[in-house]
Amino acid sequence: MMTEQTIDRIRRFTADREWQQYHTPGNLAKSIAIEAAELLECFQWSDTEYDREHVKEELADVLVYCRNLLDELGLDEDEIVNAKMTKNEAKYPVEKARGKAEKYDRLG
Amino acid sequence: MMTEQTIDRIRRFTADREWQQYHTPGNLAKSIAIEAAELLECFQWSDTEYDREHVKEELADVLVYCRNLLDELGLDEDEIVNAKMTKNEAKYPVEKARGKAEKYDRLG
Amino acid sequence: MMTEQTIDRIRRFTADREWQQYHTPGNLAKSIAIEAAELLECFQWSDTEYDREHVKEELADVLVYCRNLLDELGLDEDEIVNAKMTKNEAKYPVEKARGKAEKYDRLG
Amino acid sequence: MMTEQTIDRIRRFTADREWQQYHTPGNLAKSIAIEAAELLECFQWSDTEYDREHVKEELADVLVYCRNLLDELGLDEDEIVNAKMTKNEAKYPVEKARGKAEKYDRLG
């Protein structure tokens, strides 16, 4: 999990560079999508052969921009994740979803 | 920050449904990119008018899949984020980067 | 529009490098998403200030991978686009959709 | 290839709904990325089992938004693709790239 110290470090990084002005929710959503695609690029031609160090960096980039968006919108990570997990648990009942990757609306 | 209890909840959600078999690193990277695009969709036509509740759900989806990938690869979130922040701080020196959104390799 | 000559050039490019082996539908879908994100990166921090030459290159990359996927799946571009336009026209009736960016399922 | 008639149909679709106002280059780049991720979703959990009809629709969506962006920027598809192919051919010389998926800067 990300410690408060790390969260502070991310905030200080942005503040020191006066980059809050660029951190609109829309720009951060773009940034998360851009970094997610760079992470995906680690697996572009193979699912099994990938550069672990590169994956770590790109995943970290996604997480940092997610942190920025949480801050920008004043959201509590634990709260929004738990709210979504409550929805997911209801949407994918264990007995129906077990061992199946189908989308919930196709689960019979 | 995401608590250990929430991380356990995410892990149990996957284990109960026997979905680890689908959670290859490559599939999870795809999933992060897919959810990041759903988050982006909240801002498709406007940066300023967006559905905050929808944003919370899509951001949570990104975070849950990031958690799945951390688990799958046995990574420590705090460690990879701090390693990347060390790189970012070196790449974007405060005096050069202040107030500029340019990519680091264009900073004069 | 892309001429037959250009389509041939793209096919030859792949064949000469023996890259068909990497061009599974799934890998090409990843590639389209990756290039689409590089296109998006041109607009990461601003909608109005962008490098037109860079945009042209990234858009071309998206189009080339789309061409690869059409070829891999044996699809006719004109046919699938017209089939989708028929759906879009039905989904977004002019009188309801005029001047509104809402998703079709929210159009009253 | 997309015929002039189809291109006209796409333009009329936008014009009839007065949607040009939303078609800024930045919004269209987001739209391409969003549709590319929906295409990717067809392959989220499997590379080999996918719904061909769904793939056709999502690929068509990507192509339509690419057409919108070409129009918005006044670009000629054939010209930008050929310009990029000239670059790609130089970047990936046949003798070095044959049978290898590595990025050009790693080709020895």
pLDDT tens digits for A52-66?
999 999 999 999 999
| Residue A62: Cβ-neighbour burial (10 angstroms; 0-12, 13-18, 19+) | buried
Terminal-residue alpha carbon distance, chain C: 36
Flag the least confident range among A47-61, C81-95, D89-103. D89-103
Min Cα distance C107 → chain D (Å) is 13
Report the percent of chain D where pLDDT is more than 90.
Answer: 86
To the question of pTM greater than 0.90 for the whole model, the response is yes
Q: Are A63 and B77 in contact (CB under 8 A)?
A: yes
Task: Return residues 12-71 of C near D (CB < 8 Å).
Answer: 13, 16-19, 21-22, 24-27, 29-30, 32-33, 35-37, 39-40, 42-43, 46-48, 50, 52, 55-57, 59-64, 66, 69-70
Distance CA B107, CA B92 (A): 8
CA angle C95, C99, C105 (to 5 degrees): 65
In which band, very low, low, confident or very high, does the pLDDT at A37 lie, cut at 50, 70 and 90?
very high
pLDDT in tens, B44-81: 999 999 999 999 999 999 999 999 999 999 999 999 99
State the average pLDDT over residues C85-95.
Answer: 96
Distance CA C60, CA D81 (A): 5
Nearest CA to D35 among B58, C66, A25? C66
pLDDT in tens, C14-71: 999 999 999 999 999 999 999 999 999 999 999 999 999 999 999 999 999 999 999 9
Mean pLDDT, chain C, whole residue set: 94
Report the percent of chain A where pLDDT is more than 90.
Answer: 86
Residue C59: helix, strand or coil by DSSP? helix
Picking from D22, D34, D44, the nearest residue to B40 by CB comes out as D34
Amino acid at C23: H
D55 contact residues in C (CB cutoff 8 A): 25, 29, 73
CA angle B68, B72, B74 (to 5 degrees): 110
Distance CA C61, CA C65 (A): 6
Min Cα distance C90 → chain D (Å) is 11
pLDDT value of position D103: 67
State the average pLDDT over residues D59-74.
Answer: 98
Tokens describing residue A12: 């200080």
The neighbour count for residue C22, using CB atoms within 10 Å, is 18
Quick one: CA dihedral D85, D86, D92, D97, positive or negative? positive
Min Cα distance A45 → chain D (Å) is 7
In which band, very low, low, confident or very high, does the pLDDT at B19 lie, cut at 50, 70 and 90?
very high
Nearest CA to D10 among A61, B72, A72, C92? C92
Tokens describing residue A26: 């829309």
pLDDT in tens, B2-14: 999 999 999 999 9
pLDDT value of position A1: 87
Does position A104 have pLDDT exceeding 70, yes or no? no
pLDDT value of position B106: 65
In which band, very low, low, confident or very high, does the pLDDT at B32 lie, cut at 50, 70 and 90?
very high
Q: List Cα–Cα distances, A37 to A58, B18, C41, C91, D65, in angstroms.
A: 9, 27, 11, 30, 19
Runs of H (alpha helix) within B4-107: 4-16, 25-41, 52-73, 77-91, 94-97
